[in-house]
Chains A and B, each alone.
Chain A
Amino acid sequence: MLVRQVMTANPIRIAPGASLHEAAEVFAESDASALMVAGGDGRLVGVLSEGDLIRAMLPDLEAIRGAGGSLLDALRVFIEHGAQLAERPITPYVITQPITVAPGDHVAQVATILMQRMIHRLPVVDDGILVGTVSRSDVCRAVLRARSTVQTSAAGE
């Protein structure tokens, strides 16, 4: 079973110059954990992950100390930082050389990458052009369905 058979074509994209606020909106609407960043020509620029954004909002020890040092201060800093981040461009947070798969790769290979690298969704790229994404649920749905189809057909004989 190959990627092209299970991938989601027409993935949700975001432009390289978008702001973090815009990215947050897209995340919320799409319920995706990673967005594909692609230029107007359809070429994949990179991937923006929700996790990296949240990590950027979380203050480190020095920042917490600077804000007063208590747990309450830390919680407050988190919210304040989020607000400050909103208007900044997504650029520094984009993973610029992401792992990609090709439409002709095997689903088991995709499954291996997803699990080992703790990724939820991979871009599918054909000659540099973003043609789709393949996610954990895509893999599960496709493979588990295929198995039940086999069983059904076997039982039907």
Chain B
Amino acid sequence: MEAVRALDVIRAAEDALAAGRTDEGFLSERWGLLPTEPPLTALPASHRAWDDLAGALPGHFRRTTARDALDGMPILDASPAALPDAFVWRAASLLSIFAHAYVRVRPDRPNGLPPSVERPWTEVCGRLHRDRVALTYDDLIACNWRLRDPSRPDRRQLDNLELLTPTVGNREERIFYLTQVEILALGAPMISAMARAQDAAARGDPRGLESQLLILQDTLERVTRSFLQIDANPYSDTYVDPVVWAKTVAPFAVQIRDDGHAVSGAAAPLFQLLDIFIGRTKYESRVGREARSLRPGFPPRLRALVAALEAISVPRFIAGAGSTALRGLWQSLLDGYVGREGFLATHRKKAFAYLELAFKVGRSVTTGGFTGVFEDQTWEVAHHELEQSRQERLGGGSEAITVGCPMARLRADVRGELTSPGMAHVVLDVEGAGVRYRPGDRLALVPESDPQLVERTLRALRADRAVRVRLDARWIATLAAQSEGRDARHDVPLVELLARGRIRPMTREVAKVLLGVSNIEALGRIVNARAEASWELWDLLELMGEAAFDTRVFWRADPWEPHAICKLVPPQDERLFSLASAMPAGEACASHAELLVTELVYETPAGPTSRRELRHGTASSFVRRLVDGAAPAAAGEGLPVRVVSAPRFRLPDDPGRPIVMIAGGGGISPFLSFIAARAAQPHPAPAWLFLSVRSAAHVALYRHELAAHIAAGWLAFHPVVTSGAATRTGASITSLLVEQARALLDLVHEPSGGGAGATFYACGAAGFAAAAVDGLERALAHALSASQAEHAAIAGARALIRRMIGVGRYQQDVFTSHRSEVTTGVTYDASEVALRNDDEHGYWMIIDGVVYDVTEFSHRHPGGRAIVLEHAGRDATRSYRMVEHHLDPEIEAMLGMYRLGTIRRLEFGSEWCVTVGPKGLTFVALADAFRAWVRMLHLVVEVENAVRHDFQIVHSVTVAGERPQDMTILKARMLFEAHERFIGHYLGSLTGAGLDELWSIAVGFAALGGDAHRLRAELDAIAGGDAARAATDAIARAWAWLIELGRVSPAERAGGLAEIRMLRPQLERIDREFLGALKRTIACAVAALERWERTTRAHAGAALVAALEEVVRSVAQLHVAVAAISTW
């Protein structure tokens, strides 16, 4: 049988819709899976009761009375005789929302649904051919919107949309659902593009396929940017508060029946279609299974489209077509969808931030079906599942899914004209490689090591050029990947390994291995001082050789040994370079790509843990060799390249908006592409370029390059030459900006406020980027101080910057410099950092052993302030790695802007104690004992942060129409839940097995004769004592009171709620004072361990015991304080 074409499925669906038949679902070229007409806003008069109740839902959520209202709703007939076909979609949407409202309005589960909902709901689901009675994506999203301005029916964008049937009606619900409507509208061209691409593949038309792949890629980028509107940054126009979202929006769509499906990300039909299109065949992860199991429940038209797309494989055609351009385009489509910076990765990172906070404020189940509580770290499980499902699309699970990197060659005919001392300008030929980029994008390439450095390393290894070494699995896989599978070698010449591997700067991991096998004192000093990054492999090896260590062991070792050379020298990572060129308008694929790179040269000083040596950056010296024609790779087979999209570093959508560019050194590179793109406009809007460089020659070079634009009057060029200390402190860029303060303030203000609404950009090394944002703040404060008092001007400037970042009008492209890698010598202890998690002490955090001050950064974090504060005072490495921030060189670089120093490395030697643990006598190494104490300290901090967020809900708008400070029954419920969660749950975590472990350690070190179970006995006595009972009784009375308040007269209710408002600060204070005291106590004990290190046993054991005795007293006081609250 001939397969049905996807295009024919779309045509048939359009015909049915034109004839008024909607029961099989919506599908059209213009609107994709959205209804072609805006959804109906009312039912016939016979069903007005449903419309009325829908309108009253927010009030019922506020008073938690939705069940009473739905119980009292009349049972209406939803059969075709009573309700015409045209109204079925609206009826389905309302009834599905009613059903979920009935269940979700209160935490206790009802006994089934009332017949007023159950009967008609079953009827309409049948009329829409659903496989079960359930809330669908159509009900909640695709058919749940109206236009703000109906005279603009084509504008289905967030700013012209409102929810048709809101439940709580708050900002979070609006933005969260309506952004998804916008994505459906924006993504509509993807559906016809997939259908046409398939057609082109079927008739063997590579050119036709190319143009459809371009549409898919562009649309996907727009969809990704639209998705970013769900923004956790409070300064954004489309802020979705993670705490409010978690408590009011997220739980609503969780399935209410065992056989039901939640409306979750897996249900989003656009991505289901894209999965099929890219050839995903593996659906074994939980998210994958969920996605697949939803398909039979799709509306019939969508099911038909799924079947048609499954019938013909586009990737199979591309794999056989032998067109490098097609392969390049396919690869960039995949990158945009499943790549590390693609849509799915963006979605996963955002989901992680929202879910982590959500679970900490008490959400126990996600729409994806992940259940769990605080200690289970459910957000991590959900996150892994999402990652697994992304991986399923990447390799193995899909046919012909990776077709290899595009290859670039050096342009022989054109030389980079901006090449100058310290600056390398290279022009790469990517003709026919299917490469596309936008201004702001980056090019990733894998550099080769400097041949001189390779020679030195070879000498330090005491090896000659003939030596071959065997490879480990990672190297073998890398060689295969970089050659599209042609290179299957298991051994290579050592010289090649060193050329293609990372031999500088020294990483901590490798330094520790070297220390482990040699135990050389000088090496130990370097590792202890965290000074390894000041070294390269060759000179550390020389150091070892000087200490009579035979360095040949490394290349003689077998590849599976930890000290084997193939492990010490891992494959080189790819490096990102901002593209300095812009693609000519109207061209589908680029013919060339330009890079402008500052050469990184620095000297490490002579000292106890470093030696005097001139160092060259790996990547920049590689680019310099490219320019000089000294890198053979780029000539022959070519150089594998990858375009890395930068959705957060983009020219404004409106070409009429001015831009302000602030560049440090090579940071001018992306701005050359911005300027080129703007110059192609008929009348370019004003652009400002502030540039800080080290030499006047560079200024002359750029002035010459940009002369035409400067002369045309639209580009203002403000260069400054810096040297020495001024470069490091950013003094020059600051004064340059302050000189233009007045003009900059006008550029910052929105047009509605009389300004120009410019977008600002900063690009440079981490230190420069920090100086640029501070300099701009100073300039704005300076301008504001003309009309305001000094402190008001400073605060005003700071607020302007935060706001600009929040709305995406201050964008940064930051790269690493050697300085951020080399130690500053300042160290901190965990016990100090733990105290930095509130407004009074600022906000610090630890990532990979480095301490950062994130106080101001928390206002600038694209992922929002809440998630940063949530990790303050503790070690955030795990979460940081979870969202793959450590793989993102730009984020790593940006972090450098906030670096304070490192965590001091402590020396516990191999000291130990033997304790009485749960399994009898237990050996505990002192280093492990320290970790256990720090773990407890971080747990206390984590709970402290979570509790602060948990209580914050009472200062938020939970239901439309209330003020943040209003107390409502819903908020009172959340308040009691927060407190109950604290007493019932967090307190249990804090005083559970972890505390027993600490006690056994303390006794083991300090008091061999101490009772191993005394602490537990005392805690048990407190938990079973009168005060704890009184506290529990008080909470039970509070719940009864709240239920009573729902039933009394409005006046009485108002009085009761006023009392609860007074209660809130008392509750919050008691809980938080307890946590504060607990943290200080544990921090003191940790500080004792940090002070005495390996001599803890002799000096600090008693302090540990005393700390835990203090914890017991705090717990006892907590119960007394709770029971004593008079209002109960």
Instruction: List the interface of chain A (C-beta within 8 A of B).
Output: 45-46, 56, 59-63, 65-66, 81, 84, 88-89, 91-92, 94, 96-100, 106, 108-109, 111-113, 116-117
Contact = CB atoms under 8 A, between A and B. Distances in A.
B311 interface: no
B650 to A, nearest CB: 44
Nearest to A67: B490
Interface stretch (B392-400, B631-639, B918-926): B918-926
A91 B518 contact: yes
Given A66-B470, A92-B517, A59 B550 contact: no
Contacts of A88: 553, 556
Interface string B894-922: 00000000000000011010100000011
B553 A92 contact: yes
Given A88-B553, A92-B517, A66 B912 contact: no
Contacts of B909: 97
B550 A62 contact: no
A62 B471 contact: yes
B559 interface: yes
A25 B225 CA distance: 68
Q: Please list the 9 inter-chain residue pairs (A to B) with the smallest Cβ-Cβ separation, ordered nearest first.
A: A60-B560, A96-B519, A92-B517, A109-B914, A66-B490, A112-B921, A116-B923, A112-B914, A113-B923
B558 interface: yes
A100 B560 contact: no
Contacts of A99: 910, 912, 925
Contact of A62 (B490, B553, B557, B561): B490
Nearest to B474: A62
Nearest to B562: A92
B282 interface: no
6 contacts: A46-B519, A56-B561, A60-B560, A66-B490, A97-B909, A100-B910
B558 A59 contact: yes
Given A62-B490, A62-B560, A91-B517, A113 B912 contact: yes
Contact of B923 (A59, A84, A100, A112): A112
A23 B553 CA distance: 17
B563 interface: yes
B584 interface: no
B563 A92 contact: yes
Contacts of A94: 519
Contact of B922 (A62, A65, A96, A112): A112
A63 B490 CA distance: 9
A116 to B, nearest CB: 4
Interface residues of B, number: 29
A63 B491 CA distance: 10
B490 A65 contact: yes
B560 A63 contact: yes
A97 B910 contact: yes
B472 interface: yes
B987 interface: no
B1039 interface: no
A68 to B, nearest CB: 11
B193 to A, nearest CB: 43
Given A99-B925, A117-B923, 8 more contacts: A56-B558, A59-B558, A60-B559, A61-B473, A92-B563, A97-B909, A111-B921, A112-B921
Nearest to A98: B910
Interface string B465-494: 000001111001000000000000011000
Nearest to B518: A91
Q: Which of B472, B518, B914, B925 has the most CB of A within 10 A?
A: B914
Contacts of B557: 92
Contacts of B516: 96
B549 A91 contact: yes
A89 B553 contact: yes
A95 B828 CA distance: 30
A142 to B, nearest CB: 17
Interface in B540-563: 549-550, 553, 556-561, 563
A59 B560 contact: yes
A22 B96 CA distance: 79
Contacts of A84: 556
Interface string B559-603: 111010000000000000000000000000000000000000000
Contact of B559 (A46, A63, A89): A63
A136 B925 CA distance: 20
Contacts of B921: 108-109, 111-112
A65 B558 CA distance: 14
Contacts of A61: 473
A45 B516 CA distance: 12
A88 B563 CA distance: 14
A14 to B, nearest CB: 15
Contacts of B473: 61-62
Contacts of A96: 516, 519
Nearest to B476: A62
B925 A116 contact: no
Contacts of A45: 519
A63 B558 contact: yes
A62 B559 contact: yes
A101 B696 CA distance: 66
A109 to B, nearest CB: 4
A111 B549 CA distance: 36
A127 to B, nearest CB: 13
A113 B921 CA distance: 9
Contacts of B490: 62, 65-66
A100 B556 CA distance: 31
A54 to B, nearest CB: 13
A125 B910 CA distance: 12
A66 B910 contact: no
B957 to A, nearest CB: 55
A33 to B, nearest CB: 19
Q: Which of B470, B557, B910 has the most CB of A within 10 A?
A: B910
A113 B922 CA distance: 8
Nearest to B914: A109
A108 B517 CA distance: 32
A8 to B, nearest CB: 20
A47 to B, nearest CB: 11
Q: Which of B473, B556, B923 has the most CB of A within 10 A?
A: B923
Nearest to B519: A96
A115 to B, nearest CB: 8
Contacts of A60: 472, 558-560
Contacts of B923: 109, 112-113, 116-117
A39 to B, nearest CB: 12
Contacts of B912: 99, 113
Contacts of B563: 92
Contacts of B553: 88-89, 91-92
B725 to A, nearest CB: 43
Contacts of A89: 550, 553
Nearest to A46: B519
B930 to A, nearest CB: 15
Nearest to A17: B548
Nearest to A114: B923
Nearest to A117: B923
Given A59-B560, A92-B517, A108 B914 contact: yes
A87 B537 CA distance: 25
A82 B987 CA distance: 56
B1094 to A, nearest CB: 11
